[in-house]
A and B are shown apart, each in its own frame.
Chain A
Amino acid sequence: MQTILAVLVDDVFKPTISLPDDAKLIVFNGTEYVIYEEGDELPPEPVYDE
């Protein structure tokens, strides 16, 4: 698991480096991108139906 910082450009958050193309899951949590790759334990699935 790695994290990538975000920067605000023209009122849009963008990653400071390119996001990996082969990640299993990427989560932007409001401050940074959390990258889950093969072998990483994934967080619980979001509950979409409230």
Chain B
Amino acid sequence: MELSNPLISEYTWANKPSVAPLGQIICVTDIGENGILCRGDGANWKRTSHITYYSLSGTVSLTGTTTETTLLTIPIKGGLMGLRGRLGEIAVFAMTNNANIKTFRAKIGGSTIATGTGSNLNSTRMDFWLLNRNNQSSQYNNNTTSFAIDTSVDFDLVITGQLANAADTLTLSALTLEAL
């Protein structure tokens, strides 16, 4: 039995129609865990729901250096956040449980969106959100720090780690990124 819905056409985010008729629904196949539905508002395609944009499948460990090191890069589609959209991230780090500082950061371009540190712990979290302020190039994060990141074009969210002592280990154990 054929299950596909011929009334909902499939596109990628890049090749979706430039015209977004009011009420028209499309499936964007290259975003989210298994594609997302978007509905035209007469001008733009709007996500019909919150989505899990990215989930880390394995783990990423850092050792052997005190230089800041990229652990993960998440490409984010331009325009996905929209005018008033929000990115929300939850990350869990495991680390050598000693007094040495371990630092982790979330960055977009030259902007550090979130920073966390850990010591005398074997695990901790780094959570943040980034909210467009009715403008795709103006944001606040959860610390009310303002940013001017152009989210209308593709950009990368980069997670880095840094050790104070190269003999220690810092592991990105889990991460999920949502677009709300």
Give the residues in chain A near B160, CB-CB below 8 Å: 12
Q: Are A49 and B61 in contact (CB under 8 A)?
A: no
Q: Using an 8 Å CB-CB cutoff, how does the interface string of B7-29 with A read, 1 for contact, 0 for none?
A: 00000000000000000000000
B169 within 8 A of A: yes
Range of interface residues on chain B?
20 to 34
Q: Is the CB of B63 within 8 A of A12?
A: no
* Residues of A with C-beta under 8 A to B123: 48
Which of B61, B98, B160 has the most A CB atoms < 10 Å from its CB? B61
Give B101-139 as 1s and 0s: 1 = Cβ < 8 Å from A's Cβ atoms.
000000000000000000000110000000000000000
- Taking a contact as CB atoms under 8 Å apart, the answer to whether B58 and A26 are in contact is yes
Q: How far is the CB of A15 from chain B (nearest CB, A)?
A: 7
Interface range on chain A: under 10, 10 to 19, 20 to 34, or 35 or more? 20 to 34
CB of A41 closer than 8 Å to a CB of B: no
In the complex, what distance in Å separates the CA atom of A15 from the CA atom of B171?
A: 17
* Minimal beta-carbon separation of A45 from chain B (angstroms): 9
* A12 lies within 8 A of B68 (CB): yes
Provide a sorted-by-A list of 28 A–B residue pairs whose CB atoms are within 8 angstroms: A11-B67, A12-B68, A12-B69, A13-B65, A13-B67, A13-B68, A19-B73, A21-B57, A23-B58, A24-B58, A24-B59, A25-B58, A25-B60, A25-B61, A26-B60, A28-B61, A28-B69, A29-B63, A30-B65, A36-B58, A46-B61, A46-B63, A46-B171, A48-B96, A48-B123, A48-B169, A49-B97, A50-B98
